Amino acid sequence: MLARLGQREWAIIAIVAALLVGALLYYLMVQPLKQQIPLLNDEISKLTIERDRGRAAQRALPQLRAAIAQLEAERQEFLRQLPPQEQLNQVFALLSQRAKENGVVLKNFKRSMSASNVPSVWSTNIALQVESPFSELYGFLKRLESLQRFSTISGLTLTVGSDANSSLNPSLTTSLTMTVFTYKEAEPQTPQGSATPGKTSGQVPGGRP
């Protein structure tokens, strides 16, 4: 039967086969690629925005580094203003003075020391318990703000005294924690095995090697 086909029939078959192959290629390859074009355009737009942001950040990098260096210098200057020692005697004397000036009774206090989240800065917690009416207590707390120390107040709790039913201005027992900060700069570490200045390694003063 194929031998009976002439040149014209073979040409028609070739044309039909070519059309079928072209249709298959269109639906299997071209059509999916056309559907991906919008997605690729969106991706290109996002990458272009990120590229522009990156270039802007790169241009601003020297200014940012200068600002960071300035802030670090200001931070170090602030830390150096912290006292190098606790000087708790001075703090307790100031607290006693402020309490006396405001009519507040200092009942007891307790000290505890711990490292803060800032390197080289140590915090000393002073747990206080005072007794006074509210107006005197408020004045005492306001006076604490004028202390010549970097400090914070936390853990403030109030308890009404036993004269609450008989007095219009009852006494309050107040517990609070005052935290003062000190700056202790880290000392340079001496390499292991190095000799102490002024002494010779392996010798005992006054003896022989």
* Chain centre distance of CA 142: 29
The token duo for 197 is: 């200045």
Whether the predicted pLDDT of 70 surpasses 90? yes
Q: How confident is the model at residue 164 (pLDDT cuts 50, 70, 90)?
A: low
Q: Looking at the domain assignment, is residue 13 inside a domain?
A: yes
pLDDT at 4: 65
Q: Are residues 72 and 112 in the same domain?
A: no
The token duo for 95 is: 């607290």
Q: Are residues 96 and 28 in the same domain?
A: no
Average pLDDT of 99-116?
82
Distance CA 93, CA 202 (A): 50
Amino acid at 57: A
Q: Looking at the domain assignment, is residue 107 inside a domain?
A: yes
Q: How confident is the model at residue 78 (pLDDT cuts 50, 70, 90)?
A: confident
Q: Looking at the domain assignment, is residue 109 inside a domain?
A: yes
pLDDT at 185: 66
130-150 tens-digit pLDDT? 998 888 988 888 888 777 778
Question: How many structural domains are present in the chain?
Answer: 2
The token duo for 23 is: 């249709």
Q: Are residues 76 and 130 in the same domain?
A: no
Q: Are residues 102 and 70 in the same domain?
A: no
Are 172 and 138 in contact by the 8 Å Cβ rule? The answer is no
Strand order in the sheet with 151-160: 105-115, 121-132, 172-183, 151-160
The token duo for 22 is: 């072209």
18-32 tens-digit pLDDT? 888 888 877 777 777
For the entire predicted model, the pTM comes to 0.51
Q: How confident is the model at residue 170 (pLDDT cuts 50, 70, 90)?
A: confident
Q: Which residue has the higher pLDDT, 85 or 207?
A: 85
Where a domain ends, among 58, 81, 104?
A: 81
Q: How many CB atoms lie within 10 A of CB 129?
A: 16
Domain, as residue range, for 123:
88-183
Where a domain ends, among 48, 81, 114?
A: 81
